Copies of this chain bind each other. A is one copy, B any other.
Amino acid sequence: MTDSGTPAVKSVETAFRIIEALHERGGAGVTELASALSFPKSTVHNHLQTLERNEYVVKADDTYRVGCRFLELGAHARDRRPIYEVARPEVDRIAEETGELSGVVVEEHGRGVFLHRAKGERAVHVDTYAGKRIYLHGAALGKAILAHLPEERVDEIVDRHGLPALTENTITDREELAAELAAVRESGIAFDDEERLEGLRSVGAAITGSNGEVLGAISVAGPTTRLREDRFREELPAAVRSAVNVIDLNVTYS
CB within 8 Å of B: which residues of A? Answer: 2-4, 7-9, 11-13, 15-16, 19, 23, 26-27, 46-47, 49-51, 53-56, 58, 65-81, 106, 108-109, 111, 113, 115, 129-133
Contacts and interface: CB of A to CB of B under 8 A. Distances in A.
A15 B72 CA distance: 16
Contact of A74 (B7, B49, B68, B113): B68
B67 A77 contact: yes
A106 B67 CA distance: 11
Contacts of A51: 12
A109 B55 contact: yes
A8 B46 CA distance: 6
Contact of A53 (B4, B55, B70): B4
A131 B77 contact: no
The 3 tightest CB contacts between A and B, nearest first, are: A72-B131, A71-B74, A71-B131
Contacts of A16: 54, 56
Contacts of A70: 70, 73-74, 77, 131
A45 to B, nearest CB: 9
Contacts of A23: 72-73, 76-77
Given A11-B12, A12-B47, A47-B9, A73 B19 contact: yes
Contacts of A80: 26-27, 65
Contacts of A71: 74-75, 77-78, 113, 115, 130-131
B69 A133 contact: yes
Contacts of A115: 68, 71
A68 B131 CA distance: 6
Given A23-B73, A55-B108, 11 more contacts: A7-B49, A9-B15, A11-B11, A15-B15, A58-B108, A71-B115, A72-B129, A74-B75, A74-B131, A75-B129, A76-B129
